[in-house]
Each structure stands twice: as C-alpha cells, then as structure tokens.
Structure 1
Amino acid sequence: MKRIMNKWLWSLLCVTLLGAAACSDDDTEGDSGNPIPPALSTENLPDAGLKFLYSALTPHTFTMNVDAPWEITKTAGWFVVTPNKGEAGQNIQVTVTPALNQGEARDGEFTIRANSGNNLHPCLTEKSIPLSQDAYLAAGIVITGLDERLLAFEAEDTDPVVFTVETSYDWTLTVENETWLTVAPKSGKAGSAAQVTITPKANTTDERHESKITITAGDAEFGENTAEEIIELVQAPYMPKDTHAEGYVFFSDDFQWIPDNWVSPYTKYGWPSVSIDGTNGNEFALSTDGMKEAVAAKGYTYTPSVYARYEGHVKLGKTANMGAITIPALTGIDAGKAATL
C-alpha cells in the first residue's frame, strides 16, 4: 500500500511540473513582468466594417499578420469566413463570403482572436468587424479600396488613386469641379466590378482645390429604389518649399530658466496653495511680477495672470484668468516659402 501511494504522489508531481512549464511558455513577459499581448494586424479590412450587395456577387478577402495561434468566431450564419483558425503567420489570406439575401437587410459580426496558445488564455488580442447586407432587390453600392470617403492630395500629387465599384443596378458617376483632376469611367453595369481611377493634376496656384464625386445606382422601373455614395476630394495649395534642410531648428527652448519659486509653496499633485492676498480670496497667486525680468531677458512677452509650476509643467492662468508667454516670430523661414514644423 505504501509503494502504491508513493507512486501515485510521484505521478501527480510530474503532472504539476509539466503544467507549470506550459503556462511559463505561454506567459511571454516584457520588462515590466506583465504578459505581452499578441500582435495582430490586418490589411484591406476597414474598421467601419464590410458591406455586401443582396446578390452577394463578390466575396471580400483581407490579409492578416499575427504572431500567435488565432481563431475567428461569428454572430450570424449568412456568411462564411475561411479559414477560421490557424497558427501564427504572415500574409494570411482570409475570405468572407456572404450568401444571397432573399429577405430583409441583415447584420452580423466576426471577431478575430489571437492568444498565446489556447482559447482560455487571459493574454489575448481581439478585433471585431461589423458586416451588413442589403435587402432583397434593394439598390446598393459597394466601394472597395477606399477606407475613407475623403481623399486629400498634396499640391504636387499626380499619382492616380484607384478603387472598385460594384452595384446591384447600373450606375453613373458625376464630378463636381473637374478642373484639377480626371475621373474615369463615369458609368458601369450591374453585376460587374469596375475600377474607377482618379488622377489629380499638380496644383501650381496658392488656392485650395475642392471637388466631389457622386456615384448613383438605381432601379430603372422603381425610381425610389436608388443608392448613392459621395466621395469628397481636396488638394492643398502650392507653397514654395523653404530651403532649410530637414531637421533644421528654427526655435529651441527647454524653459529651464523658469524657476520653481515664482509662486511658493506648490504641491506635488495639485495646484499651488498660496496665501490669500486679501483682495480676491483666490488660492492662486495673482501676481506674476516675479517672472517679468526673466521673460524680458529672453526677448519674450507675456500676459499677466495667475502662475503655477508643478511636476515639470508651467501653468499661466486659471479658468477665466488665462495667460500666455509669446515668443518672437520665426524669422528663419525663407520669405514667401513654407516649412513643415
């Protein structure tokens, strides 16, 4: 009996040691000793979600990079995600395929979950994406390749931007102010994915350019059954560039010349506690005369107000009693030119 008991205890000890080793492998720790969440990134998967036409003509494929085992769960049965689980890897292709919708508009969601080895691990990274699909025979427009409905161009930009348009009915495109860009094509057929190209012209003026693209798709028999997408476009004005090299310092001041004792005493985690001056009952110091000479010596100006310094921060003002230190104008930038600061 004694030999059997000892053997059982030895087996239990072995299992316990193996379990501790598995947990240690999962709990990758950073310098702080806390577990590091897995890294998860996606491409061609907008945070705003995915929209599908009722006819479900084209699936959506995105790319995923993840450094831990992962799985995808979903909240609805009208779409399929493949693959839905796997090991860590780069450039993993995942496809979302909806089914034909023969009823009302519907929604869903899928969640990508990456963890350090098993689905119960507390250290994880998640990303959830909402989905929607138009109702049966409803007019709809799906645009891919544009995460936002606002395109901003620099003055010198001439590179084309290409996106894909897919609709449930024939579509047309109109452009408001096409003087500084070209857009083609301006129409397309239902059931086919068309690539639309926007090509800006370089802006040689000091005027900002603005434009708007409107894409409309509709049922020829029922005029009220239409869909519309609007894309805003802007282009910055042309400004000659400053000749200073990148990294040139136009202004530098660490403000270490501001002493701690212009207002005293001050507290470590709050505003200073200063004796009431007998005039207004305010716990802040309302006189900033102590800073006048130091500010003038730097060539700066200031608007008198309450003052405090704590934890490396300087405060000029309290609620309505605002103040400021003003530095001289930056004269180093070439006249008539611009510098990005």
Structure 2
Amino acid sequence: MASIVLATGFGSTAIAPSVTTRIVIAHLTGDAPGANAAAHGWSASQDAVVWLIRLPRVLLAAIVGAALAMVGVALQAVTANRLADPHLLGVSAGATFGAVFATLFLGAIFGPFTLSLLAFAGAAVATLAVIGLAHAHGRLERDRLLLAGIAVSFVMLAAANLLLYLGDQRAASSVLFWTLGGLGLARWDMLAIPATIMFAGSVTLFGRRRELNALMTGDLAAVTLGVHVARVRAEVFLIGALVTGAMVAVSGAIGFVGLVTPHACRPVVGAEHGRLLPVSALLGAVLLIWADVLARTLIAPEDLPIGVVTALVGGGCFIALLRFQKRR
C-alpha cells in the first residue's frame, strides 16, 4: 500500500502522498470533486493525473508483478530448475507472438478478450513445444528444458518479427511494446481481466503448495509421497501459460521478475511454498511498481520500456544474489 501511494505521486508533476491519499479516498467514497477539486485542497489536473493516469498504471504494475513472480516460483518447482521463469522458458515469447498476431490480423474479433485469448494460445503452444523438446527417455530433462525454452523463445520472437514484416508497417510501435513491455496503456476498464486471472491463478497455485514442495525434492520422492507428477506438472504449466498470456496481453513481455523474485525471497522465508508464494507475489508487485517509476521518470516526459528496466535492475540483483550466496 505504501508503494502504491508513493509511486502514484512520482512523475513529471510530483504529488504529495497526503494529496494522493485524499484524492483516492474521495473517488472511492463517491465524493469525486471533478471541476470543484480546488475546494477540496487539490487541483483538477492533479485529480485527473492521480485517478485517471497514474493509479491504474501502478495497480496494473502490482497485478503483473505479483502474477509473474508466482508463476516463476511454480515453474521453478515443477521443473526443479532455479533458472526457470516465464521469460526464459519461452512462455512470454509465445504470448507475445499471439498478441502481435491478434493486433496485426484479427483486431477485436472476440471483443475485449481477443488479445488475452490469443496471448494465452501463443503461450500454450510455446509451453507444449518446450515440454515436447525437453522430454527424453520418458521424463522431463532439466538441462534440456532451459535450452528448449531459449530455442522456442527465439523462434517465437522471430515469428513475431516476420508477422510485422508481412503485416502493416505502421504497427512497429505496437510490436515494440509487446517485445519490450510497457504499462503506459493502463486504464481502469482493462484491470478487471488480469486481476481476475491473477487472483484465480494464485489461489490455484497456493492450493498446490504441498505438491510443489514435493516436486522440489525430485520426481521419485514426489511419487513416493503420493503426488501424481505428470498431472500436477501439466496443471502448473497450463496455469502458467494462462496467467502469463493474460499479463503479456496488457503489459507486453516483461522479463526477470519471475526469475529474480523467488531467489530474493527464499533466503528470507525458506523454500516452503505456503510462505514462498504469497511473499514472492508481494515482492514481485513492489518490484514492478518501482521499476515502472524508474521507467517513467528516468527520461521524463518519455517512457522507457519497462522490460529494459527490469532486465537492468533484475540482472544486477541476480548477480548480487549469486555473489552473496557464493560468499556464504
């Protein structure tokens, strides 16, 4: 909550936290001042900036950050690979391909759900391809999984670029948005779908916390504990594709959140997923909120792609974590 209030006040026009809080409370209680904002202690422009522009963007950052962090935790558990995350396993690239295809060739054929549906379809296809390539001798090879994810990611991004070349040349900015990420399109009416999918995905993954704990010990140990390994792994991959597809549809492909956040949380709360999942969601939300603040303030009034910021910050944090673990 503190990050939401503070981040909403940051920008080319700084707004005090007390003013931000009073504006939000006024709108939530139905006492929106509108043109009479000055009588409430703030200007009409401040009211519009906070309620219509910045707060939806900050809330979208929190939703996307929490969702990607939880998916990263779950993927690292079912693959028993600490390098797994939606970006490295090609899920984000597949969702990007689906979103680009919908943008260039389909429009709103399925109404407001078109982008989410096509992004999910692309993420699902990429996930199935990675799983198929990583299987050897009837089981999922962890080393092959990461290599397959990188290969599928390159193929999907190349396909997205090919669609751009074959489609409308004026859509280059849209494709850049999907490949590098951005939250500048956030509006109140687009928060419901990603928030619902994030909440449903988090509840489902939290309900599988015991199975995730067992899978971290290896397939054989999980089977002896009564876990149906293939079914649980398929469910988690499906949930990961659905959640990642919905997030990519509204924010583009954002990397490193799902990779770095679990590593930052495990030294604090341990590897038990009953604690790791909610704490990772909280840290992922906070991380992406402040990454977005950097994205819109470093070269203000222009926006940096948030994927660039998360890669720089996340990569630096990951290197620091590796050095800390090595010294310990």
Q: Which has the higher helix share?
A: 2
- Give the TM-score of the pair, scaled to structure 2: 0.18
Larger CA Rg, structure 1 vs 2:
1
TM-score, normalised by the number of residues in structure 1: 0.17
